[in-house]
Chains A and B, each alone.
Chain A
């Protein structure tokens, strides 16, 4: 069987099996057995995705494999270096989190349900990374959104329900936006297959056709993919969901699921709007906002896990900036005519591409470590509040080493992995600014100078919030001394399996950082060359001197900024009142999730729609009611009037009503005077007298007279 298909389908099958076998088992033994099963399943999955990777490294190539007819369009899968490496990363992440979960989820309820949805999510994620067309991507993206919903909702508390609601709302809205983008892209380009999409779009661009609809399609898809990647302004689900999901699930959300969103945006940028500087600027702006905002909120949070969550957002911002630089540089390549310049631009371009790719990889590894450590802390402390967590790390060398590697790694400290990717990204911005032709460029060099400063500033923010966490864990002591000594005496804070899981993720961090030329560059090259980018651009990156003074100074700037921010914001503002400890200082009224999404979009928009709909809904009914009250009244019930006739009856009642109205207006006491009855008597009298007259002789004579008169008038007129 084809390994790619196997990797996609196997988790679904094994998930169902595990659920079916263990679902009723409440016993600890059953749970333990189930957790071993899922670890084995993840190991098999990892082996399955390693096979095509190794075959590919040995020179084998792969055709697109299809499951014809599934989902109407058929599902198609493709192998490229980028996809293969991320599939391996995905399987690896699941493997380590399952190792970690064995202890972490031991005492949890609904573990089997968690495993079921976890394995489903694994299969869906594989489907996303291997997808050969947008429909397949969407198909699995939606499945992933829904199955991962169960992570957030897992704890079944009020807070988790709230967070899960937001998560699901954004996921569904994002999914629909992607679908709309798919419709338009299909309508415009006539295909959804990667590669063909690019050809179609490139043909359109070369013919100078109107690209508005392609921009709309890309924008729609950005909403959906950006939401998963937690890009501004659709990142609002992130802090709550990350905080509520169980730690291993959060690790996966941050390490892998956010990358599926980035992958989606990358594909949109490569396939639907290739080399469009307008799109590049858009991604750049979004990336900058995400990067800075995430960093600021990360610094200002007083919650361990929320800080990490915002850190994730900020790092995704870095990745998006890198992607924007790719697009801008690609555009520059297409317009440059000078051969020398072209060569240089393509060199910078490959730096941006490699930087983006490596930062995705680095961020995944680092976040796996950090969120699993957060899980350990939560399991021991029972809270993520920095004031409670304070001092937990003392006398725990394993934690100290792995945590330090991870935070320093993502902080961009030289000799660790983040430094490599951030240097590449930084260089690409600097070089772009230097190479750009101010006359034709999308913005002035000054603007890109600002981009560079923001980039370094955000690097500083990363350093600041990571320092905050480090100092909280390992330097400061808890205010509660009893708790502190309890923390310090805790030796069995994590099982061997959990430690192995964390260790496995932390291991590559120094390797990538220490030997960038030997480790990072080849990995990046493997990912890049096959990432779907055209042959045309596949120029090997020139050797980068990572440890040159120029590049080191960038990191130094970030570290200095980080130190300043840490002292100003954390030490001075957050710790202003010593007795209160750390306080979250981000103003609550800036909560976009609550005030924009929940209040305006969810409540306001539906109420508005509801009112309009209610009016439309009752329109015809109202007309019918009016008709029935007026001209088409139902036939009155046939009953005899006790006295009088219809005229006296209605006149009498009208008078009564007018009197009552008058009394109500004048605020007088109303007493019924029974006009109906009085009129009836009057009319009876009237008709009785009439009948007497009618029967009398005089009346006969009168009628005779009248008749003669009329005859006479007639005769006159005839004559």
Chain B
């Protein structure tokens, strides 16, 4: 049992609890409290900023890095510990939270139930902070389930039948996965020294070997990967993602596709690298199957995105594919690929949010959703389309944008991994997928900039979206470019995380 006064850094609780409280208050306040839409936005905007600042304060380490809240059962506490990995994930959450949040102030003007949206958005943020700061498996699992529940209303938001069905599907798949993972936690409790996250894993190998349950533990590891992999859109339980993400309002899609799915990635990292230990599954069938699943998913996601006609759905399939870049890196179980994965977590969060916000901006200004609807619009919205082009290049992995950096580490790590033929099949799949990525992203900007619709006057009425909408996209695009041109500090920092683990 960990405890003691020096670990009572109660400030850590603030960015987790405050958004949840504000969210619920907002949820239950009657509509009439807010005299106008503007006053609602003011309140929400202030709470966004306060929550984000609190989170940044905790991420900076000023609030200490451990907090034991209370014991759940026996010796299993609800326990927060902030390490570099948590900081990294929390940092991205804050960034995307703010970008998508301010974007939604304009976007949500044409949606109903705005107040409900903001309240669940805030709650989700708080829960995500809890997930990122979790110090042991049980705490993480709790917040993982809360995350599913809190983000559900974002999917359901429009209340149409399609949205409800998508929401149910989301819940079904998420819980399926979570139970698989839960199964694993029981066994880990038996065989691990502690359920706290320990860099390099805490599995008591002697106990496992003595009990003769090595195979069983491998199955446990595999179930944990597949189970948490559901959130990360890993084949075979990925099908909820392309259904659920596009039905949400665009900024929520950005948040879901950019951030929430990373919850699954974080959970897998925590279980494999901090509990079971990478050494335990290296070279076993679990690793092989994991790599194969990742390769299948990333090719499948890209080819479906390539064939998809509806823009948001296309981006959702692209998320499926890109998350598997990350999983592929993790499955290689070496430091280089791990660095690649974490870099891709960051880059993909930035890029994919920008893409969904772009889709949102177009839906907001034109009301159209199909990929082929935006012919010639680039001339009317040059800044928007230019930002889109930059992030697209980032996702394909064209220097000097950021995507190529993560791809580099992923592929080199993969080749180093010594996983037989899979070690080169991985990079090949990455590059084929990149090719398909180019095929499904670039035509949008090419049509936007270089082609003209048959009826040119139909474009007359369009202009750049409002500043509050445009600015987040531009900021994300600039980040994509900057992180591609000068990623060295980031790589060094991520490298220290990896070297502590492997």
Contacts and interface: CB of A to CB of B under 8 A. Distances in A.
Interface of A: 68-73, 138-140, 142-143, 146, 153, 156, 161, 164-165, 168-169, 172-173, 175-177, 179-180, 183-184, 186-187, 606, 609-610, 612-614, 616-621, 624
A146 B408 contact: no
Interface string B417-441: 0000000100110011011101100
B450 A138 contact: no
B304 A617 contact: yes
B328 to A, nearest CB: 14
B165 to A, nearest CB: 12
Contacts of A146: 393, 398
Nearest to A614: B304
B487 A72 contact: yes
Contact of B304 (A73, A177, A610, A624): A610
A624 B487 CA distance: 44
Interface stretch (B89-97, B232-240, B471-479): B232-240
A616 B405 CA distance: 30
Contact of B300 (A68, A69, A138, A613): A613
A606 B439 contact: yes
Q: 8 closest Cβ contacts across the A-B interface? A: A69-B488, A609-B303, A187-B415, A613-B300, A176-B431, A613-B303, A139-B399, A72-B405
A183 B424 CA distance: 10
A187 B399 contact: no
A161 B439 CA distance: 15
Contact of A71 (B301, B399, B434): B399
A156 B450 contact: yes
Given A606-B303, A612-B300, 5 more contacts: A71-B405, A183-B411, A613-B303, A614-B307, A619-B236
Contacts, number: 120
Interface in B245-301: 296, 299-301
A616 B300 contact: yes
Given A156-B450, A613-B299, A168 B442 contact: yes
Interface in B31-63: none
Contacts of A186: 412, 415
B211 to A, nearest CB: 33
A606 B436 contact: yes
Contacts of A614: 304, 307
B412 A156 contact: no
Nearest to A139: B399
B450 A179 contact: no
A189 B415 CA distance: 12
With a 10 A CB-CB cut-off, give which of A68, A161, A177, A616 has the most chain B CB atoms: A616
Given A183-B412, A621-B239, A153 B485 contact: no
B172 interface: yes
Interface of B: 172, 235-239, 242, 296, 299-301, 303-304, 306-307, 393, 396-400, 404-405, 407-408, 411-412, 415-416, 424, 427-428, 431-432, 434-436, 438-439, 442, 446, 450-452, 484-488, 491
> Which of the listed residues A69, A175, A183 has the most CB atoms from chain B within 10 Å of its own CB?
A183
Given A187-B412, A616-B300, A153 B446 contact: yes
23 contacts: A70-B486, A71-B404, A71-B405, A71-B484, A143-B399, A156-B452, A161-B446, A161-B451, A168-B446, A175-B398, A176-B431, A176-B432, A176-B434, A179-B404, A179-B407, A180-B411, A187-B412, A606-B303, A612-B300, A614-B307, A616-B235, A621-B239, A624-B172
A156 B304 CA distance: 29
A183 B307 contact: no
Contacts of B435: 172-173, 176
Contacts of A68: 488
Contacts of B303: 606, 609-610, 612-613
Contacts of B237: 620
Contact of B427 (A172, A180, A617, A619): A180
A183 to B, nearest CB: 5
Nearest to B304: A613
A161 B438 contact: no
Contacts of A184: 415, 424
Contacts of B236: 616, 619-620
B486 A606 contact: no
A168 B396 CA distance: 13
A156 B237 CA distance: 43
Given A138-B399, A624-B172, A606 B488 contact: no
A153 B448 CA distance: 13
A610 B239 contact: no
A172 B396 contact: yes
Nearest to A623: B236
Contacts of B239: 617-618, 620-621
B400 A72 contact: no
A107 to B, nearest CB: 19
Nearest to A136: B399
A179 B306 CA distance: 22
Nearest to A619: B236
Contacts of A175: 398
Contact of A156 (B301, B434, B451): B451
A183 B300 contact: no
Nearest to A606: B306
Contacts of B307: 606, 610, 613-614
A173 B306 CA distance: 15
A72 B452 CA distance: 38
B408 A72 contact: yes
Contacts of A618: 239
B485 A70 contact: yes
Contacts of A165: 446
A618 B172 CA distance: 15
A39 to B, nearest CB: 27
Contacts of A617: 238-239, 242, 300, 304
A172 B438 contact: yes
A243 B271 CA distance: 57
B431 to A, nearest CB: 4
Contacts of B450: 153, 156, 161, 164
Nearest to A168: B442
A71 B408 CA distance: 11
A173 B432 CA distance: 8
A164 B235 CA distance: 35
Contacts of A72: 404-405, 408, 487-488, 491
A95 B273 CA distance: 57
Contacts of B306: 606, 609-610
Nearest to A216: B424
**Which of B242, B431, B451, B491 is packed against the most chain A CB atoms within 10 Å?**
B431
Contacts of B397: 179
Nearest to B343: A72
Contacts of B172: 624
Contacts of B438: 168, 172
Residue picked from B398, B416, B439, B487, most chain A C-beta under 10 Å: B398
Nearest to B423: A187
B346 to A, nearest CB: 13
Nearest to B397: A179
B396 to A, nearest CB: 7
A72 B343 CA distance: 11
A169 B300 CA distance: 20
Contacts of B408: 72-73, 183
A138 to B, nearest CB: 7
B416 to A, nearest CB: 7
A156 B449 CA distance: 9
Nearest to A149: B446
B431 A179 contact: yes
Contacts of B393: 146
Nearest to A608: B303
A187 B300 contact: no
Contacts of A613: 299-301, 303-304, 307
Nearest to A73: B408
A625 to B, nearest CB: 11
B412 A609 contact: no
